[in-house]
Amino acid sequence: MKALMNDPHFAGTTLLVIDFEGLTPAGRPAEPVEVAVLALRPMGGRLVEVGRFEELMRPPADVPVTVMDVQLKGITQQMLSSAAPAAEVMARLEARLTASPYRLVAHHASTEAGIIARQAEHCPVLAATPLLDTLRLAKAVVPGLGSYGLDSLLGYYGIAKPAGRHRAMPDVEVTAQVLARLLEEGCAGGRWRTLLELDAAAGLQPKRPPSGTEAEQSALF
């Protein structure tokens, strides 16, 4: 990863590996019920953890936790009943963002971008932060895989599937491991040497927050 470390823009950027767990009510966008973030800084030739954040979020009263949600994520209605609503949690996360510039990192990052955009009034800095998609990085580094899902990449790199897979923090931790491997291999193969080249290969711009009309339509349809 030496080439990237020599790029002052990459070296000065904090990478925020982020994951949401959510509920998917029929006809409505996903409602987040958990968020986790692992903050990484390039130091001494590697990515070093400099902070973390995780919290459950109480969904709206008309969005129930289903049996399938409990089986997949291990998150129950009782666990969420005492949690703060998403607006408060995202505001608390926003308050931690005091060392810009940032890049958000997620696997299939458009999902996270959509959730963040719908919470933009509570986390404007986060909502304006560009993203890097580890799925796109993997397609550039390891072409021809049958699947680029997170579990497939864990198997490819021999990274143990964590206990609590499909909870936000365990997923963030293994995504960070996959990220480090992808950055290293991409550097070794000459695919990227700068943050700008990373953005070109796997960058996503933040999604535009829905307007009042769009928000109303998304709730109706």
**How far is residue 96 from each of residues 4, 39, 81, 85, 139, measured CA to CA in Å?**
26, 10, 25, 18, 32
Q: What superfamily in CATH does domain 2-208 come from?
A: Ribonuclease H-like superfamily/Ribonuclease H (3.30.420.10)
The tens digit of pLDDT for each residue in 155-214 reads 999 999 998 898 999 999 999 999 999 999 999 999 999 999 999 999 999 998 876 534
Average pLDDT over residues 94-113: 96
C-alpha angle 128/129/132, rounded to 5°? 140
Q: Give yes or no for residue 219 having a pLDDT over 80.
A: no
pTM over 0.75: yes
The tens digit of pLDDT for each residue in 41-77 reads 999 999 999 999 999 999 999 999 999 989 989 999 9
- Helix or strand (DSSP H, E) at 200: helix 195-202
Q: What is d(CA 205, CA 117) in angstroms, rounded to the nearest whole number?
A: 11
Q: What number of CA atoms fall less than 13 Å from residue 106's CA on the CB side?
A: 25
Q: What is d(CA 175, CA 156) in angstroms, rounded to the nearest whole number?
A: 13
Q: How many CB atoms lie within 10 A of CB 61?
A: 6
User: Beta strand pairing status for 203-204 and 14-23?
Assistant: unpaired
Residue 24, amino acid = T
Q: Domain map of the chain by residue range?
A: 2-208
Q: What is d(CA 123, CA 144) in angstroms, rounded to the nearest whole number?
A: 37
Q: Give yes or no for residue 217 having a pLDDT over 60.
A: no
Point out which residues pair with 90 in neighbouring strands: none
The tens digit of pLDDT for each residue in 79-95 reads 999 999 999 999 999 99
Phi, psi of 89 (to 5 degrees): -65, -45
- Reported as a pLDDT band with limits 50, 70 and 90, residue 27 is confident
Phi-psi domain of 186 (left: phi exceeds 0; alpha: psi -120 through 50; beta: other) = alpha
